[in-house]
Protein backbone atom coordinates (compact mmCIF):
# COMPACT_ATOMS: atom_id res chain seq x y z
CA UNK A 1 0.00 0.00 0.00
CA UNK A 2 2.84 2.38 0.84
CA UNK A 3 4.33 1.67 -2.57
CA UNK A 4 1.11 2.74 -4.34
CA UNK A 5 0.87 5.93 -2.30
CA UNK A 6 4.53 6.74 -2.98
CA UNK A 7 3.97 6.08 -6.71
CA UNK A 8 0.90 8.34 -6.74
CA UNK A 9 2.91 11.10 -5.02
CA UNK A 10 5.70 10.74 -7.61
CA UNK A 11 3.20 10.88 -10.48
CA UNK A 12 1.62 13.98 -8.98
CA UNK A 13 5.04 15.61 -8.66
CA UNK A 14 5.87 14.78 -12.28
CA UNK A 15 2.52 16.15 -13.41
CA UNK A 16 3.05 19.38 -11.46
CA UNK A 17 6.56 19.75 -12.88
CA UNK A 18 5.26 19.27 -16.42
CA UNK A 19 2.53 21.86 -15.96
CA UNK A 20 4.95 24.35 -14.43
CA UNK A 21 7.25 23.93 -17.46
CA UNK A 22 4.33 24.69 -19.76
CA UNK A 23 3.46 27.82 -17.81
CA UNK A 24 7.02 29.23 -17.90
CA UNK A 25 7.75 31.78 -20.59
CA UNK A 26 11.55 31.44 -20.57
CA UNK A 27 11.72 29.54 -23.86
CA UNK A 28 9.19 31.79 -25.57
CA UNK A 29 11.82 34.11 -27.08
CA UNK A 30 13.68 31.19 -28.64
CA UNK A 31 10.52 29.87 -30.26
CA UNK A 32 9.66 33.32 -31.58
CA UNK A 33 13.13 33.75 -33.08
CA UNK A 34 12.94 30.34 -34.74
CA UNK A 35 9.53 31.17 -36.22
CA UNK A 36 10.77 34.55 -37.48
CA UNK A 37 13.84 32.89 -39.00
CA UNK A 38 11.57 30.39 -40.76
CA UNK A 39 9.44 33.18 -42.19
CA UNK A 40 12.50 35.12 -43.39
CA UNK A 41 14.00 32.02 -45.00
CA UNK A 42 10.67 31.24 -46.67
CA UNK A 43 10.42 34.75 -48.09
CA UNK A 44 14.04 34.60 -49.29
CA UNK A 45 13.37 31.30 -51.04
CA UNK A 46 10.24 32.64 -52.71
CA UNK A 47 12.06 35.76 -53.91
CA UNK A 48 14.98 33.60 -55.08
CA UNK A 49 12.69 31.43 -57.18
CA UNK A 50 11.00 34.49 -58.71
CA UNK A 51 14.35 36.11 -59.51
CA UNK A 52 15.72 32.89 -60.95
CA UNK A 53 12.83 32.78 -63.43
CA UNK A 54 13.44 36.39 -64.51
CA UNK A 55 17.25 36.30 -64.74
CA UNK A 56 17.58 34.65 -68.16
CA UNK A 57 15.39 37.37 -69.70
CA UNK A 58 17.39 40.11 -67.98
CA UNK A 59 20.70 38.69 -69.24
CA UNK A 60 19.32 38.35 -72.75
CA UNK A 61 18.21 42.00 -72.71
CA UNK A 62 21.62 43.14 -71.45
CA UNK A 63 23.35 41.00 -74.07
CA UNK A 64 21.16 42.44 -76.84
CA UNK A 65 21.86 46.02 -75.71
CA UNK A 66 25.61 45.40 -75.53
CA UNK A 67 25.68 43.76 -78.95
CA UNK A 68 23.41 46.45 -80.35
CA UNK A 69 25.75 49.15 -79.03
CA UNK A 70 28.81 47.40 -80.43
CA UNK A 71 27.14 46.95 -83.81
CA UNK A 72 26.12 50.62 -83.98
CA UNK A 73 29.73 51.75 -83.39
CA UNK A 74 30.99 49.82 -86.39
Angle at 39 between CA 49 and CA 41, to 5 degrees: 45
pLDDT of 43 reads 96
- Over the stretch 18-54, which tens digit does the pLDDT of each residue have? 777 666 666 667 888 999 999 999 999 999 998 888 8
Q: What percent of the chain has pLDDT over 90?
A: 19
- Over the stretch 54-71, which tens digit does the pLDDT of each residue have? 888 888 888 888 888 767
Q: How far apart are CA 14 and CA 54, in angstroms?
A: 57
Amino acid sequence: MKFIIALENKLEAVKNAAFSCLKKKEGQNTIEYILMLGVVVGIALAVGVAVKKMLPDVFENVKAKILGGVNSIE
